[in-house]
Every structure is written in structure tokens, then in C-alpha cells.
Amino acid sequence: MTEERTKVLIIGSGPAGYTAGIYASRANLSPVIYEGNQPGGQLTQTTEIENFPGYPNGVQGMEMMQHLRDQAERFGARVVSRLIDSVDFSQRPFRCVDDRGDVVVADTVIISTGASAKYLGIPDEEKYNGLGVSACATCDGFFYRKKTVAVVGGGDTACEEALYLSTLAKKVYMIVRKDYLRASDIMKKRVNERENIEILFNCNTVGLFGEDGVEGARLVRHLGTPEQTEFDIEIDGFFLGIGHRPNTGIFKGQIDMDEEGYIKVNAPYTSTNVAGVFAAGDCADPIYRQAVSAAGTGCRAAIDAERYILENDL
């Protein structure tokens, strides 16, 4: 077991973590970034990104994350391709232990562990990931202009995704396993009024098919009942609209979170209820979940951490 001391420990990577690393290292704080079990975050699972400023012709998700990582390292951030397993925010400086048992002692901590999309759990979701399967309509909807897509889910998230896609796609199916929408009344009204949205109630997705990408979905209506029937729909894209899960499990009981596990911050700052601990990116953002907004909060978290260090003579 080794023990390392740092002024700024960044837990997690992605746009928020790497941007925090860029700003903290430019402030001569020599941050340490623990990338976690998905270095670069969710965007490394995305093919082309067209809505991040500075890439007029688009960029591959893996490439963009490598650019951000390289930039953080250029200014002095040390990137560790390991996972922080546990934290102790009850003592100062904070003590964090990684998956090899090594200890990082930090004056400040920036949490940027992101969030993970909830999936149905069918094998075809992984098979067609990036080839027609997406968990972000705002990110990928542009690729499906004048095409036919499906959104799984019946809550507000699914309705928001379907409404957004309906402004781009020719037709949008909503695949809902219950016989009603769980969404708020206003969202139900908006979906029902949109002519190119068709709701398929009492339906479960059991598979996807296609040669070089998604070409259709295999559905079962009234699953597990005598009325069970199977049918296919032709689609070009399959969107998950069943929500996200923040990757904040190791921080439970250490800092304040909402009922879904998103970290609460003292807006407009990125500080948490524990002085010296800050949160950036999707782990503290249940609303926008965009790369550019995550990067922005990473910048803010680094500035907040720098000011905290200066004000407390650390």
C-alpha cells in the first residue's frame, strides 16, 4: 500500500473530469485524476459527436476524450487509470482508497463520476450500441432526420425524448410496457397532440435486428398473458428513455444527494455540503446531461477548488 498527497483529487473522467484537470493544472495545483472503470466516460461509447464546440466536421467520441485527456496532462495533471473504491470525508485532509488499496490524501476532491443510462438488458442493445441504439436523443437525434425511430419508456424522460425526436424524424414510436403513460399530464398532452408520434401500449421489446445497424425491433404485446402476440416494427434508431443512474454509490452517507442519487450542489457553485468537496458533470446534473455542460461544470469545480485552497491556506 502506498500513500500519496495532492491538493486536488478528481474522481472520474469524461468532459467534466478532464476539464477540471485542465483548469486545476493551469492553476499549478498538480491535480490527480482517477479515470475510473470507463476512462473518458460515456462518450467513449459514442461514435460521432457533432454538437461539441470546436469540431465543425464532428469527431469520434473516443478521439475527443483523448484530446481532453492529453490537454489535461500537458498542463501537469497526473492521470491514473484506476478506480477509487472508498472515500472518507469525515476527516481532513480527505482519505480516498483505490482498487489496489493505495491511499490518496487530498485537500479537495472534485467528483465527476458521471451517470449511466438504464438499459432494458436485452443482448441486442450491446450488439447495436452506436449502430442505432442510443440513450441520448439530444446527442444523436440529428442522425435520424426524416427517418423512423422508437423510444422505450412511458415517463417524462421518454416523452421528452420522443417530442425532441419528433421534430427531426419522420415517425416516432413510443414503446410502453404498461397500458398508460406514467408521465405528467402536460407531457402526455404534448405527446398525444404530436401527429408523428405513435404510442404502442402493453408492449415489451424482446430484440432488435438489422445487418449493419438497427433496421427493426421485435415486440411482444401483452407479454405473459393468453393474449400475447409478437410483431416487428421497422425503425432506423432505437432510443432508451427509461432514465439514468448517477454513479455515486461510494459517496452515499458521505455527502448530500437527492432521492435518485444525484449529488446536491450549492448552485451557482459546485460545492457540496462538505466543505472542500465539489461535484461536476452528470453525477450532479439530472437535467441537461450534455458533454458541453459537463465540461462547463468541470471548469467551475476547478475554480471553486482553487479558491477554497487559497482561502484556507492549504
Residue 178 C-alpha cell reads as: 404498461
Angle at 89 between CA 84 and CA 90, to 5 degrees: 140
Beta bridge partners of 218: 207, 232
Query: What does DSSP assign to residue 142?
Result: G
Q: State yes or no: is 139 an active-site residue.
A: yes
Q: Which of 124, 140, 236, 282 is catalytic?
A: 140
Residue 56 contacts by C-beta under 8 Å, 6 or more apart in sequence?
Answer: none
Is 85 catalytic? The answer is no
DSSP-based three-state secondary structure for 304: helix
Q: How far is CA 221 from CA 18, 143, 149, 202, in A?
A: 45, 29, 19, 5
Q: Does the annotation count 96 as an active-site position?
A: no
Location of C-alpha cell 462547463: 296
Catalytic residue selected from 96, 136, 203, 283: 136
Of 96, 139, 159, 203, which residue is the catalytic one? 139
Helices assigned H by DSSP within the chain: 14-26, 61-74, 123-127, 137-140, 156-166, 185-193, 291-311
Q: What are phi and psi of 257, to 5 degrees?
A: -135, 165
**Which positions are annotated as active-site residues?**
136, 139-140
